[in-house]
Amino acid sequence: MAKSLAKNFILKSFGEKATEAYGPEEGARIFALADTRYKQLQDEHMGLVETGNLLTLGCVAIYQAMADTHPDDALSLTRDFGRECGEKIGDFLHGVTRIPGMPELLWKHMDKIFAKMSDGYDTENVYIKEDECGMDVVMCPLYEITKDLGCPEACQMICATDKVYMSAFRHIAYSRTMSVAEGDSCCDYRLRYDKTKK
């Protein structure tokens, strides 16, 4: 049975975002449209559900609901929502990395974390040094999924989330200046161990 958008931990607050932008009646209508589309996508693409791509399907559903109702705002509102989702995830990650020794432990195992992060992605220029590491993602499977579903713009919401929460780790500075989903040649992940970063 298809899951509701209201049960998706990261995306369930989209109704609040739509209500904030368009008022309660229109916000509820947009959220209901996104929820219906989310369930349809799950039914139509069981393989993606089974491989854990519910977030991607949810982003596609939300973008499509916005494109159907407010096309001029679809990209800007969904990217803003992605940033807000990133802040929520980031608050959690910042709290976890406040545990004494946690940032050091993460950095010590960055080779394994990078291997997990890049699983399923095509990467180039991967390097891990004592106090910095990086990789260029040249093929993102999430972007490929959104393209296959006819909605590549939806991936920008995922990128917006990623850019924010990846900056939340204590003692680990993060930067990314490019995004495949935004038309760049790669996503250039760069991380640096920095004990002064709070």
Lowest-confidence range among 95-104, 111-120, 125-134?
Answer: 111-120
Residue 52: is its pLDDT beyond 90? no
Q: Which of 44, 41, 86 minimizes the C-alpha distance to 62?
A: 41
- pLDDT for 88 equals 93
Q: What angle do CA 71, 74, 77 make, to 5 degrees?
A: 145
Residue with tokens 């960055």: 110
Q: What is the mean pLDDT of residues 97-114?
A: 92
161-166 long-range contacts (CB < 8 A, ≥24 apart) are 161/10, 161/82, 161/83, 161/85, 161/86, 161/89, 162/86, 163/83, 163/86, 164/82, 164/83, 164/85, 164/86, 164/87, 164/89, 164/90, 165/86, 165/87, 165/89, 165/90, 165/93
First to last CA, the chain: 43
Between CA 95 and CA 87 the distance in angstroms is 12
- Which H or E run includes 184? none
CA distance linking residue 17 with residue 31, whole number of Å: 9
Averaged pLDDT, 75-81: 98
Q: CA 92 to CA 101: how far, in whole Å?
A: 16
Q: Tell me whether strands 122-128 and 187-193 are parallel, antiparallel or unpaired.
A: unpaired
> Above 90 in pLDDT, residue 67?
yes
* pLDDT above 90 for 190: yes
Non-local CB neighbours of 46 within 8 Å, separated by 6+ positions: none
Q: Where are the beta strands (DSSP E) in the chain?
A: 122-128, 132-139, 172-175, 187-193
pLDDT average, residue stretch 15-32: 98
pLDDT at 51: 87
Helix (H, G, I), strand (E, B) or coil at 1: coil
Segment 6-16 shows an average pLDDT of 94
Delineate the domains of the chain, giving CATH numbers in brackets: 5-193 (3.30.1380)
Mean pLDDT, range 159-173, rounded to an integer: 95
